[in-house]
Structure 1
């Protein structure tokens, strides 16, 4: 917002009780104090406001004489006009600042919410007899990175999969690998040499042709990233031709193809400049038109080598939780990913799936606080009654957890008898040496309700938990991870068996940075065995051994399994929840015969 608009809102707010057309007397001293400027600049500001026809101003003649001020624009109209500008530009953070400054009591909240919701949903316009279609929807989390080599959170990875492509695609439904950038591949009998053949004619969003050099560059780049574990078994990458690349392995890796299908293994264009472009370039179905911490706009890649997406533009805008209304008119939204307050409408289609993973509480062994002692960890495990947590909070929580993934069929969870719980917790706290120290638990808004429930339970046993709600981006910083005692987050495993151990290997993950070095060595040895093991059942057993070690030692607390839900208008088709809880934007389309 420019200075003139800002000062007019301040001025009109001060005289909000004065109707349009009524003349009042003001002194230049009042205006300079209100605008925090010199008399000369105050006169310039008033002149610009008058030029915009927001007011009329007749200056007083001579020293000490009052000027005459008449407003032509009331505060509410001026305020909502600026609200519309910020919404249209996707500047929702600025909108929150505007509301906090000029609407402290929340009187205008419903009017603002109405404008916000009308901005979202399906929008189209005709351009030379061609219908341009756009879908806008809100999210309540930040996008922390679009660099595949640094992606950790699921939504980041999902957006990356819409912008970039990998060499191969793993279909979780059929358990088969499918061609993506590579149309064919082969491996030597000893499993130490892999050769991939790339489609000709694939181009990046900037028009550059994809070559084997780009493949080599992308993998070499991974070796110096937090995801270096993905390239650790590669000894050498050799360019055979412009459309053929060969990987020579240090050791056999039976999960190499699954590695290659991860979003973190997406292919970027080769560049002499090591830093990524502000708007990353891929070969995927959408290109990035705009991106900042408040929004991301995706535009269709008309030269995509596979079927073109139906929507021309996808606009994803971050909303502050403050703007989540209880009574949202869903007819204007079209798609809702159930992140915060769930939206429900009897006429909408709804789908859900149980998340592949669970809510966990980590303990920071690096901090060497009382929270990392075995007896304190066990006391926390006992005082948190997972079954009651699910029953009392409900919502997306579907069952108590005793491991990362939900067992099929579900089996009974060990539960301490309620009558014995207080005494057992007290005994463990005594052994831990806990003397009322404050324990910091850091989490995200999505898990605030769980954190507050745990805090209340701990308080009944004399444990002082401080809950810190932070942005996703804050927990990408190592210092933030290491200064907290515990982190409450949802470990999600959308890519099968590889997902189940990647949190132990990604260098900036909460789990890895909080674990004791001896436990990390034990887990890494198991993973090393797992990677070279050809038998899937044996690999699953190794994963269970890791999980059992974590469970028995209370290295983390497995809490609850949650479901993910999405609701959408019946006219929106192609909506299928992926295992990461998001939808594939390129499959979405609007059925014209369904009423909006």
Structure 2
């Protein structure tokens, strides 16, 4: 049908709302030229094509003042669905998505189209490709966040940047050691006030130039110039010296035993000094960016990667916030595959991976907004309403254990109790609550929606008017101005100490924007000696900082989550990466014997 169906959809969208199917519509050629944006001659050609394909019946007007008559023979939904399937079957995902945005789509049709789209997600061998190119397509039901290592904070974008960029060193969380990255070795002086990195030779950026020590220095300078929300981590650096093209020295104002963690973090992903990463994302990672828009990110395996070339040739991430319909299913040789939880594959040819996330779900109060939640008794009442045991028992799902910390091993030490809801009523009275609405913000995802409705119902039972306020993705100004409290989830990197200190100090997250300056000063004072301490003492400092959040009820911990994946038995190289996502660069598909 190709262009004919597009012309038919265009005509029906303009004319059909006023007329029924099979009802003649009086029109003129001049009127149709305006709708189809073409000449009268082309309009007549299009009409002939539509007639031939039995999409319309056309009776030309004969004589002065007599209008032609056009009758639509097929329903717009039917033609739209056929056109959508045609585009998707040819791998033209973007035009197919645009089709849904151009024409009115009812919910039943939308679900059918999403089912068609879902079948195009997952792992594919491109038809007609001599080399058998393997492609992974992933869909995300939210908008893309800014893809820049200097400013990134969201887990998924951080994960993607880890495939585009490389750091000087990497952290092996399982063994608690650092491994070579872009630097093949490194050393520190006895006082840990100066660090030397020796860079690999022959490492190419995606735009072809060789990496040198100047790129490392300019990467740090870029964080400073862009006022990166993570720049506070690097404030000990007072001088950077290039000791040749492949050796770089960092001098510090004081001993820093946490310094290597900083240079394995996403913020110190080395980017070229001669390219604006914000305009052209260029790194040294296993994948290079070949397409980037608000709808899709396309990554292609980089043949000149200094490490081991990825086995998957291309990765497409489709951002479909306006098409969100819950969990996406990814097909691979007849079995379901997902980076999220999925129902069991029908043919049973799958296996599950469970990886309990380091981090938890929690509620954070907005102290920037006036309200009854400033009274400790009201926050204590919310602690009873948001009870961890009741949350897991009544909502279940991937909520696997009650949380009293971001760290599951810390939570396991705590003995949880479940007070009666009526105890919260007395605390509300003590806090001066008089029936006013308390606004709870949440994101448009299933876990948040379930918890928001659950909290609203429990609050109603004790007379607390909890008003639900859905948020756009990471809409901080809206949150600060409107909400009294917000449902959050924090998932930490494998390097959990880095994840924790970044949570406390990073200026782009909810904690930074919703606490008062005086509260943040208290946290800063607790964390001040952090970088000068050994690992065990750093853990104690982080525990003290969490105690500030917990004991003052600034944060109400909820539950730890289990991130599940159901994967085809044909999928190999399954290595969880940062935040529990699979390391795409290690994946490959095994076809096996027929």
Deviation at 1:487, TM superposition (A): 2.0
Of 225, 230, 241, which aligns to 1:227? 230
Match of 2:92 among 83, 88, 95: 88
Q: 2:405 maps to what in 1? A: 403
Q: Structure 2: how far apart are the matches of 1:398 and 1:36? A: 61
Deviation for aligned residue 1:36? 12
1:325 Cα deviation after fit: 7.4
Aligned equivalents of 1:593 and 1:15: distance in 2? 57
Q: 8 Å contact 1:134–1:312 — kept in the other structure?
A: yes
Q: Within 5 Å, give how 1:454-533 maps onto structure 2.
A: 454-472=455-473, 474-475=474-475, 477-478=476-477, 480-494=479-493, 495-533=495-533
- Residue of structure 1 in register with 2:286 after alignment: 285
Q: What does 1:100-115 correspond to in 2, within 5 Å?
A: 101-104=103-106, 106-115=107-116
How far apart, in 1, do the equivalents of 2:412 and 2:328 lie?
Answer: 36
Query: Partners of 1:321 and 1:40 in 2: how far apart?
Result: 28
Unaligned 5+ segments in structure 1 are none
After superposing on structure 2, the runs of 4+ consecutive aligned residues of structure 1 that deviate more than 4 Å are 1-6, 11-19, 29-32, 35-46, 70-74, 320-323, 325-334
Match status 1:47 vs 2:44: yes
Q: TM-score, normalised by structure 2?
A: 0.89
1:135 to 2:136 alignment: yes
Q: Report the more deviating stretch, 117-126 or 515-524.
A: 117-126
Given that 2:330 and 2:337 are in contact with CA atoms closer than 8 Å, whether structure 1 keeps it comes out as no
CA distance change for structure 1 residues 70 and 383 in 2, over 3 Å: closer, same or farther? closer
Q: Which deviations, in whole Å up to 9, do the C-alpha atoms of 1:385-444 show, x marking residues without a partner?
A: 2111101111110111111211368245442432xx31x322222232222222222222
SS at match of 2:390: helix
Aligned to 1:581: 580
Contact 1:360 1:489 in 2 (8 A): yes
Do the aligned partners of 1:357 and 1:492 also contact (CA within 8 Å) in 2? yes
1:239 aligns with 2:242: yes
1:259 lines up with 2:265 in the alignment:
no
> CA 1:328–1:255 in 2, change beyond 3 Å: closer, same or farther?
closer
Instruction: Provide Cα deviations, 1:342-387, integer angstroms capped at 9, x if missing partner.
Output: 3322432111111101111111112232223322211101222211
- After superposition, where does 1:557-576 map in structure 2 within 5 Å? 557-576=556-575
Corresponding residue of 1:373: 375
Q: Hey, what's the Cα distance between the residues in 1 that align with 2:36 and 2:519?
A: 69
Structure 2 residue aligned with 1:546: 545
Aligned residues: 576
Deviation of 1:253 after TM superposition, in Å, equals 1.4
Partner of 2:117: 116
**Number of the residue aligned with 2:391:** 389
Instruction: Point out the more displaced range, 204-213 or 456-465.
Output: 456-465
SS of residue matched to 1:102: coil
Is the Cα contact below 8 Å between 1:279 and 1:291 reproduced in 2? no
String of CA shifts for 1:470-508, please: whole Å, max 9, x gaps.
343x43x44544542222111121221121121221112
Report the more deviating stretch, 160-169 or 319-328: 319-328
Cα distance in 1, alignment partners of residues 43 and 433 from structure 2? 64
Partners of 1:40 and 1:214 in 2: how far apart? 50
For the aligned residue pairs, the C-alpha RMSD in angstroms reads 3.1
Shift in Å at residue 108 of structure 1? Answer: 2.5
CA distance in 2 between partners of 1:388 and 1:45 (Å): 67
Report the secondary structure of 1:507's partner residue. Answer: coil
Quote the Cα distance in structure 2 between the aligned partners of 1:134 and 1:39: 36
Residue 152 (structure 1) aligned with residue 153 (structure 2)? yes
Q: How far 1:50 sits from its partner (Å)?
A: 1.6
**Equivalents in 2 of 1:126, 1:38: separation in Å?**
37
Structure 2, unaligned stretches of length 5 or more? Answer: none
Contact 1:120–1:333 (Cα < 8 Å) also in 2:
no
Q: Distance in 1 between matches of 2:311 and 2:191?
A: 44
1:26 aligned residue: 25
Could you say which residue in structure 2 is the equivalent of 1:211? 212
Q: 1:51/1:314 Cα in 2 relative to 1: closer, same or farther (>3 Å)?
A: farther
Deviations 1:227-254 (A, max 9, x none): 1122211111111111111101122111
